[in-house]
Amino acid sequence: MHDHDPTILLMPARPLEIRQRSRLRLWLPAALGLLGFAALPLDLPLARWFAAGHCPRELGRLLGLAEVYAHGYGVAAILLTVLVLDWRRRALFPRALATVAAAGLVADLLKMCVVRIRPRAFSLAGNVWETFGHWLPLNHVASDFESFPSGHTAAAVGLSAALIWLYPRGRWLFIGFALLAGGQRLSSTSHFLSDVTWGAAVGTFAASLFLPGGWLAAKFDRLEACLMARGHGEPVATDRAAPRPLAPAEPFSSADDASAIL
């Protein structure tokens, strides 16, 4: 595939091409959704393993730190950092923000549809189906009954998808961060494995809506074109492109020149 270039986003895609991309993108959330059901037999054994403190200490510390990548404040800080450091492409920021926000919102809506007890609040001695409760609790249950799905994982995967779109060279780094964030939800006994998998499905579904080729991508294509036309950012090459050589710095002629630069 060609290196990612934001100018490609401004080229109108044919309707058939858009539909084909959308169908292909939906395979991943669908596969993760099915994988969540396949993970149900592992939910209780894995939760017991973490609850018994078998997770290595240093791994537990690493997973604990990874929550920053999935927590609302941490995600906001990462997106703000991207905006500040890559200001020339600020016109692309609304799409990245929408991808992450949609992932968290869909996860919260699903929590209002099905009650599921978190591992920390369950005896872990019963049947996995006993972790599920009644339908449509809306917002009338405590946090310990909102295990399905993992909102943290959904946000982490949505963030990773947006960052991969912006910086494809860091693909595996961002995927690794999302995996660590999902592992933290397990190690903290906040979610079962199936909840984490379903959260990943939600995050990839949000990405399939907003990123190029998605059902809502055309709206952001027009928004980005409008912002760039008004001077709010400009298309620049991504990190895969060869960097421009820097002009050699001229030596300071005096202490005054150095103080002026600083």
CA 34 to chain CA mean position, Å: 20
- DSSP, residue by residue, 178-207: HHHHHHHHHHTTSS-HHHHHHHHHHHHHHH
Residue stretches of the chain with pLDDT short of 70: 1-24, 233-262
Residues in CB range of 227: below 8 A, 6 or more apart = 90, 91, 233
Count CA atoms closer than 13 A to 243's CA, side-chain side: 4
Residue with tokens 């920053």: 68
Which amino acid would we find at residue 126? G
Return the domain boundaries, the chain.
Answer: 22-233
For the chain, how many helices (H) and strands (E)?
10, 2
Would you state the structure tokens that stand for residue 34, as one six-digit string?
Answer: 């099915």
pLDDT tens-digit map of 134-192? 899 887 889 999 999 999 999 999 999 999 999 999 999 999 999 999 999 999 999 99
pLDDT at 23: 56
33-72 core/surface letters (b: 16 or more CB in 10 A; e: else): beebeebeeebbebbeebeeeebeeeebeebeebbbbbbe
pLDDT at 260: 35
pLDDT at 18: 52
Classify residue 246 by burial, with Cβ atoms within 10 Å: 0-12, 13-18, 19+: exposed
| 3 sits in which H/E element | none
CATH architecture label of 22-233: Up-down Bundle (1.20)
